[in-house]
Amino acid sequence: MSKIIGIDLGTSNSAAAVLIGGKPTMIPSAEGTSIVAGGKAFPSYVAFTKDGQRLVGEPARRQSATNPDGTITGIKRKMGADYKVNVFGKEYTPQEISSFILRKIKEDAEAYLGDSVDKAVITVPAYFNDNQRQATKDAGAIAGLEVARIINEPTAAALAYGLDKEEEATMMVFDLGGGTLDVTIMEIGEGVFEVKSTSGDTQLGGRDMDELLLNYVVTKFKQDSGVDLRQDKMAMQRLGEAVEIAKIELSSVLQTNINLPYITADQNGPKHMDITITRAKLEELIRDVLNRCENPMNQAIQDAKLRKDQIDKIVMVGGPTRMPAVQKFVKNFMGKEVERGVDPMECVAIGAAIQGGVLGGEVKDILLLDVTPLSLGIETLGGVDTKLIERNTTIPSKKSQIFTTAADNQTAVEIHVLQGERPMAKDNTSLGRFSLVGIPPAPRGIPQIEVAFDIDANGILNVSAKDLATGKEQAITITAPHKLSQNEIEKKVKEAEQHAYEDSKRKEDIETKNQAETLVYTAEKALKEAGDIATSEQNDKIQKAIEETKEALESSEVEKIKEKSEALQNAIYELSTAMYQKAAQQQEEAQQQQSPQQESKSNSEDEVDVEYEVVNDDKK
């Protein structure tokens, strides 16, 4: 069974999305998109060229000036009407024209997913009547798509914002597109959306704002330089692109520059444009457009027999609503904040994809995956928190690692389970502890204790420790500690970042200490094993180095510890080198005594190990 994609079949632009891994993802348009459409949508253009080609999207738009008779735009306005398009002698119904757009989307989706796509959810305006909805369904069928459902555009937008999870709410969907404004008042209750009223303005949109900004710049330039840019085609093209970019930038910065050197020339020589535009200026320029948005909002609220303050949620749809000016205007008018978190240009397609996911059985609660908000680990030698599961790991998840003992004949290990980002155990949250006993006595570093963390889909953590030699195992279950709010999580992560430098230094110091201790242990062992091989000189030297290292460890002065353990290490190397030489010597002598064909065996007993405390066998 293939995926059900979501399609926003718009008057000016169309887009599609699909759930991948439960997450809504926009399906890219094959021929690319313009900056205008935000990179994901493509213009709803269909064209038939004189040489018999059929073009859809950007290519159709690019040739429209050369082929006005063969280029069709805004066909959505004619859906459900008894109307035929006549192109070079052939007749098409609006459904057929729309089907060409839908077919392109189908092909794009198949290329993107690498799988066949046969079903879709398509959105329509809330005010579409039965004929118009049926026509949309037919268009899908002609394109080879089974239309699993037709849903209203404002409903799709609300879905994208997750508003279907509200028990009961009243919402206003403010859809300001390139050329039209649609305001819808809806109620959600028990999983059902109900449209209460719609209103709008078919002659109002982002394009008006672009016009105003462009006019301003051209007029200002004329005032400053005396030159009318509108007479210079190339200048207008360069300016058009620059204005587009400036407008988008002003949504995130407070001012921007339109810097176009050598933009044009007159009898006095070349002219340059360098105009600064502030966000405030832009807001001033579009004030009239914004003011015209008031009536439709008032009308819709009135028709729904409600008051402004009875609207719980405000949803923004359409590219122009990304502008802070528009958001501010609506917020001030309604007296509350607008919903955030979804790209207003994508939310309709995304909402349709979510509905497609529900109908396709993808969005069942069990498939909604969670993540661990903070890292989980255990306390190891020196009070260090050794992390086993990193924060933001998707659960369910399982991770295990092999640990070992810190002292000779250690027969029990304590597993102290921690949650947090700091390197030191004491700075993190303790989730629980337990002990594993009955470990057969052995030199330190020999036993293998496998510690496993297993988080299930509900966030319940099972920690187990198993002695691989005996098979003995202990475990505890930790139910999710009090749910941390997003703020608390961010605070902890920030704390870790702030203390990162000092924490890492402290961790380093502890590791130096641990290594020194191990070195003392192995040095003493080596001396014992070396026995006679060590000269009394070497013996004394090493004993001294061991004493000094032990002293340094007592003092806890890190630099001293480092210094003394290095000296000890060097002393040991001398001894082990000597031991190897001696061993090699002995072998030669042995060989000479025996038959020449005998092979020499390497004597591994005299190897000196300098081990680390934790054996890092990463097992997934």
Partner 1 sequence: MRPKQNEKDESQTIRSSDMKQDTEKGLEDDSKTGEISEQERQLKEALTLAEERLDQLLRCRAELDNTLKRVAREKENISRYASEKLVVKLLPVLDSFDQAAKYDPGMDKIRQQLMDVLKGEGLVPLDVIGKRFDPNYHEALMMVESDKYDEGIVTEEVLRGYSLNSKIIRFSKVLVSKKQ
Active centre residues (catalytic): 8, 76, 153, 175
What's the CA gap between 513 and 612, in Å, rounded?
11
Binding mask 281-310 for partner 1 (x = CB under 8 A): ----------------------x-------
Q: Is 565 in the site for partner 1 (CB under 8 A)?
A: no
CB of 336 to partner 1, least distance (A): 24
CB 42 within 8 A of CB 14: yes
Binding mask 118-157 for partner 1 (x = CB under 8 A): --------xx-x-------------------xxxx--x--
Q: Is 478 in the site for partner 1 (CB under 8 A)?
A: no
Residue choice 261, 341, 531, 596 for contact with partner 1 (CB under 8 A): 261
What's the CA gap between 18 and 6, in Å, rounded?
6
Residue choice 7, 87, 214, 263 for contact with partner 1 (CB under 8 A): 263
What are the helix (H) ranges across 63-185? 94-113, 130-142, 153-160
Crossing angle for the helix pair 536-555 and 500-530, nearest 10 degrees? 150
Extract the tokens encoding 278. Answer: 């502030």
Residue 426, exposed/middle/buried by CB under 10 A (0-12, 13-18, 19+)? exposed
Q: Which amino acid is at 97?
A: I
CB of 163 to partner 1, least distance (A): 10
Q: Which residues in the 339-368 window bind partner 1 by CB under 8 A?
A: 355, 358, 364, 367
Q: Is 87 in the site for partner 1 (CB under 8 A)?
A: no
Residue 301, exposed/middle/buried by CB under 10 A (0-12, 13-18, 19+)? buried
Residue choice 40, 103, 104, 238 for contact with partner 1 (CB under 8 A): 238
The dihedral of CA 265, 268, 272, 275: what is its sign? negative
Per DSSP, the residues of 98-133 read HHHHHHHHHHHHHHHHTS---EEEEEE-TT--HHHH
Q: Is 18 in the site for partner 1 (CB under 8 A)?
A: no
Identity of the residue, 97 or 425, whose beta carbon is nearer to partner 1 in the bound complex: 97
Nearest Cα residue to 510 out of 380, 363, 620, 599: 380
Per DSSP, the residues of 321-364 read GGSHHHHHHHHHHHTSPPP-SS-TTTHHHHHHHHHHHHHTT---
Residue choice 262, 370, 584, 588 for contact with partner 1 (CB under 8 A): 262
Helix (H, G, I), strand (E, B) or coil at 315: strand
Q: Which helix (H) or strand (E) holds 242?
A: helix 233-249
Q: Is 237 in the site for partner 1 (CB under 8 A)?
A: yes
Binding mask 164-203 for partner 1 (x = CB under 8 A): x-------------------------xxxxxxxxxxx---
Residues 6+ apart with CB under 8 A from 464: 451, 452, 454, 473, 474, 475
Residue choice 162, 270, 440, 441 for contact with partner 1 (CB under 8 A): 270
- Looking only at the bridges linking them, the beta strands covering 42-43 and 45-48 are unpaired
Identity of the residue, 21 or 596, whose beta carbon is nearer to partner 1 in the bound complex: 21
Identity of the residue, 242 or 425, whose beta carbon is nearer to partner 1 in the bound complex: 242
Residues 6+ apart with CB under 8 A from 102: 7, 9, 120, 122, 139, 140, 142, 143, 145
Residues 6+ apart with CB under 8 A from 328: 283
Identity of the residue, 355 or 405, whose beta carbon is nearer to partner 1 in the bound complex: 355
CB of 441 to partner 1, least distance (A): 45
The Cβ of residue 394 has, within 10 Å, a number of other Cβ atoms equal to 11
CB of 207 to partner 1, least distance (A): 17
CB of 411 to partner 1, least distance (A): 42
Q: Which amino acid is at 157?
A: A
Q: Is 63 in the site for partner 1 (CB under 8 A)?
A: yes
CB of 120 to partner 1, least distance (A): 15
Binding mask 100-119 for partner 1 (x = CB under 8 A): ------------xxxx----
Q: Is 216 in the site for partner 1 (CB under 8 A)?
A: no
Q: Is 52 in the site for partner 1 (CB under 8 A)?
A: no
CB of 69 to partner 1, least distance (A): 12
The stretch among 6-14, 263-271, 287-295, 427-435 that binds partner 1 (CB under 8 A) is 263-271
CB of 58 to partner 1, least distance (A): 8
Identity of the residue, 64 or 386, whose beta carbon is nearer to partner 1 in the bound complex: 64
Count the site residues for partner 1 by CB under 8 A: 55
Nearest Cα residue to 236 out of 266, 255, 256, 260: 260
CB of 195 to partner 1, least distance (A): 4
What's the CA gap between 338 and 313, in Å, rounded?
7
Q: Is 266 in the site for partner 1 (CB under 8 A)?
A: no
The stretch among 231-239, 383-391, 440-448, 569-577 that binds partner 1 (CB under 8 A) is 231-239
The Cβ of residue 179 has, within 10 Å, a number of other Cβ atoms equal to 16
User: Rg of the Cα trace of the chain?
Assistant: 37
Binding site for partner 1 (CB under 8 A): 20-21, 32, 55, 59-66, 112-115, 126-127, 129, 149-152, 155, 159, 164, 190-200, 233-234, 237-238, 241-242, 260-263, 265, 269-270, 303, 355, 358, 364, 367
